[in-house]
C-alpha cells in the first residue's frame, strides 16, 4: 500500500471566504503528471453529540437545513469555534437542546466529504443527562423540537427520508459499534 502523496501542490489561492467557509483553488500536478486544479472547501471542524438514555434511545432534533431548504431529524452539533472538540460538543448540545451530561465518551473522528472538504467531524456520546434551558447562541440554527428515539424507529425514519443527514447517520453507526462493544 502506498503512503506517499501522489499529487504536487504548485500554488494555492483563496477564491472565496465568509465567516464560516473558505474555498481555495490549488494549482496541482496530478498523479499522472499532467497539470490541473483542485478546489477545496475549508470549514471549521465540527462535532455531533449522541445523547443516549438508559433504554439506548438517541435524542434527535428537528431542524431546518438552508442549503437544501428542508426540515429533517438529526443529531445536535455544529461547527466548533476552534476549541477542543469535547468542549465544542458540550457547548453545541447546551445551545441546541439545553441538555448537560455528566458522562462524555469520545467515539471517533471522521471526514465529512473526503473529496471536496477538509472538515473533520468528531462524535461524542453523552450519558447521565439533565435537561435545562436552551441557550440559542447561533442565529443560523433553527430547531423546533427534539425527542428520544429508538434505533428501530430511527431505521423507519431513514426509510421514510425523515433522517437523511450523513453526519447524523455516521454518528449513529459509531454509537451502534460502541453499544455492540459494550455488550
Q: Which of residues 111-150 bind a copy of itself (CB under 8 A)?
A: 111-121, 139-140, 142, 144-145
Q: How far is the CB of 89 from a copy of itself (least distance, A)?
A: 16
When asked if residue 30 is in the footprint of a copy of itself (CB under 8 A), the reply is yes
DSSP code of 33? Answer: S
Among 76, 78, 80, 85, binds a copy of itself (CB under 8 A): 78
Q: Which of 10, 12, 35, 39 binds a copy of itself (CB under 8 A)?
A: 39
Stretch that binds a copy of itself, among 15-23, 53-61, 80-88, 91-99 (CB under 8 A): 15-23
Which residue has 459509531 as its cell numbers? 174
DSSP state of 60: E
Comparison of 128 and 155: residue with beta carbon closer to a copy of itself? 155
Beta carbons within 8 Å of 129's beta carbon, 6+ residues apart = 51, 53, 59, 99, 100, 101, 102
15 to each of 82, 137, 146, 157, how far by Cα in Å? 22, 29, 38, 39
Amino acid at each position: 500500500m502506498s503512503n506517499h502523496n501522489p499529487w504536487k501542490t504548485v500554488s494555492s489561492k483563496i477564491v472565496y471566504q465568509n465567516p464560516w467557509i473558505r474555498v481555495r483553488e490549488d494549482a496541482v500536478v496530478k498523479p499522472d503528471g499532467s497539470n490541473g486544479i483542485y478546489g477545496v472547501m475549508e470549514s471549521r471542524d465540527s462535532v455531533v453529540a449522541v445523547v443516549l438514555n438508559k433504554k439506548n434511545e438517541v435524542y434527535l432534533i428537528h431542524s431546518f437545513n438552508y442549503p437544501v431548504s428542508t426540515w429533517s431529524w438529526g443529531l445536535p452539533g455544529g461547527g466548533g469555534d476552534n476549541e477542543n472538540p469535547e468542549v465544542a460538543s458540550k457547548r453545541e448540545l447546551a445551545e441546541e437542546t439545553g441538555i448537560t451530561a455528566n458522562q462524555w465518551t469520545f467515539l471517533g473522528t471522521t471526514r465529512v466529504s473526503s473529496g471536496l472538504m477538509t472538515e473533520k467531524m468528531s462524535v461524542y456520546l453523552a450519558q447521565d443527562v439533565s435537561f435545562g434551558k436552551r441557550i440559542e447562541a447561533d442565529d443560523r440554527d433553527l430547531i423546533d423540537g427534539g425527542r428520544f428515539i429508538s434505533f428501530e424507529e430511527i431505521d423507519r425514519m431513514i426509510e421514510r427520508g425523515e433522517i437523511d443527514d450523513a453526519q447524523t447517520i455516521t454518528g449513529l453507526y459509531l454509537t451502534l459499534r460502541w453499544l455492540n462493544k459494550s455488550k
